Amino acid sequence: MVTEKQVRSYFLDKLNSTQTKNAAVIDKKFALATAKDLFVLEELQKTLKKIFCKGWATPIKYKSKSKKSCNRIVNNMLSDLHFGVNLKSNEVPHEYGPIQESRRLGAVAQQVVEYKTQYRNESKLIIHLLGDIIQGILHDPREGEPFAYQTTSAIHYLTQYIMFCCSEYPQVEIYCTPGNHGRNPHRHPQRAIHQKWDAIETVIYNAVKMAVLNSGIKNCQFFIPKTPYYIAPLFNNKGFFTHGDTVLTPGPTWKTISVGSLANQTMKWNTARNVGGPFQLFGCGHVHVGSVTHLPGNVIMIINSCLVPSDEFAVSIGKPDTTCGQYLFESTEKFACGDHRFISVDDADDKQEYNSIIEPFPGL
């Protein structure tokens, strides 16, 4: 390693040869700064050798034990994650930041990959990203973390989540739609009606897509349509999915579930021309209260819950608590929604062990 004394001597000779004024003062500052830079570079080189002693880090690839045709679909609904919300315990009932959001997302991922492993090689995983992935700036311009932080943290979390699932399932598909919190507030200061896809969350979805596919993962596909909804084929059935703030609105389910309203709305989509129906299953989020409702006509409505606990807005309207979680359901050739599970997450899931699945966002 080059010593500070050697650096000082070198620059002193250079300074004396050009007869620069105050050479001693200039040399001392310059030499010290250079020596520090050399020390940092040397320490960084040592660290990189330790980290990449076995080569550059790459995601674990799925290794199939035997080739079987896909006759099961495991559906994982992810909505209302609200990354970057940054809740303080001295303002709301539950503290919630990078530690909590990463561990609870890790708890969800753990249950997704442990679901019916006996059928793994014949199962496809569909991850439904249904919006409100970030907190956004909806109720207050200073709400949550800055947009740059929220956006980057969402990419950080979702990339890890999808890569983890791709290492456990032979085939993974990701369908995406934006929510109201993830909209571009400059383009859509109020409700996003025209070109809802022109949203911050669309940027997040495409960034995650590039991160995952460019990592060399081959068993993954992304679908990011411009419609404010998407249609997912579920063998002989079809699923209609949207966020829940437009197109299909479940209403205030924390007060009451209006079966009549849901039946009327789903019937309109099932009888509409050039949409692609009829649909045996409808899915959305938005209202932060999970439920499965069997509607007339053998139609199933799944409303997803949330990952984030009650924030300042929820507390202000008298909702100090909610049952947080994400839905997991199975589709077969016969059933659009067969077995289903509500993956409940709360303070008890804030365990360090989940950081081995999803690492907390380190910040910008």
Residues 31 and 166 in one domain: no
Report yes or no on 185 lying in a domain. yes
Grade residue 260 by pLDDT with cuts at 50, 70 and 90. Answer: very high
Structural domain for 34, as ranges: 4-51
Cis peptide before 278 (omega within 30 of 0): yes
Rounded to whole angstroms, how far apart are CA atoms 75 and 62?
18
258 pLDDT exceeds 90?
A: yes
| Least confident window among 155-164, 183-192, 256-265 | 183-192
Contact present, 171 and 61 (Cβ < 8 Å):
no
Percent of the chain at pLDDT > 90 equals: 63
Residue 255, pLDDT score: 86
Residues 10 and 118 in one domain: no
pLDDT in tens, 267-318: 999 999 999 999 999 999 999 999 999 999 999 999 999 999 878 888 887 8
CATH number, residue 295: 3.60.21.10
Does any domain span residue 129?
yes
Q: Exposed, middle or buried, 51 (CB in 10 Å: 0-12/13-18/19+)?
A: exposed
97 lies in a domain? Answer: yes
Domain co-membership, 260 together with 291? yes
Report the predicted TM-score, pTM, of the whole model to 2 decimal places: 0.82
Domain co-membership, 342 together with 231: yes
Q: 32 and 91, same structural domain?
A: no
Whether residue 272 lies inside any domain: the answer is: yes
CB 239 within 8 A of CB 230: no
Question: Same domain, yes or no, for 179 and 220?
Answer: yes
Same domain, 148 and 279: yes
pLDDT at 283: 98
Co-location of 265 and 343 in the same domain: yes
Please tell me the total count of domains within the chain: 2
Q: In what order do the strands lie in the sheet with 291-295?
A: 230-234, 237-241, 281-284, 299-303, 291-295
Do 217 and 311 share a structural domain? yes
Residue 312 lies in a domain: yes
Token code pair at residue 232: 């997912």
Question: Residue 63: inside a domain, yes or no?
Answer: no
pLDDT the model gives residue 86: 86
Looking at the domain assignment, is residue 60 inside a domain? Answer: no
Instruction: Give the list of residues 6+ apart from residue 155 with CB closer than 8 angstroms, or none.
Output: 204, 207, 208, 211
In this predicted structure, what is the pLDDT of residue 18? 47
Q: Do 221 and 93 reside in the same domain of the chain? A: yes
Is there a single domain that holds both residue 23 and residue 132?
A: no
Give the tens place of pLDDT for each residue, 75-124: 999 999 999 988 888 888 888 889 999 999 999 999 999 999 999 999 99
Give the model's pLDDT for residue 16.
61
Per-residue pLDDT at 56: 39
In a domain, 56, yes or no: no
**Whole-number average pLDDT of the chain:** 86
- Average pLDDT of the segment spanning 39-62: 55
Residues 83 and 176 occupy one common structural domain: yes
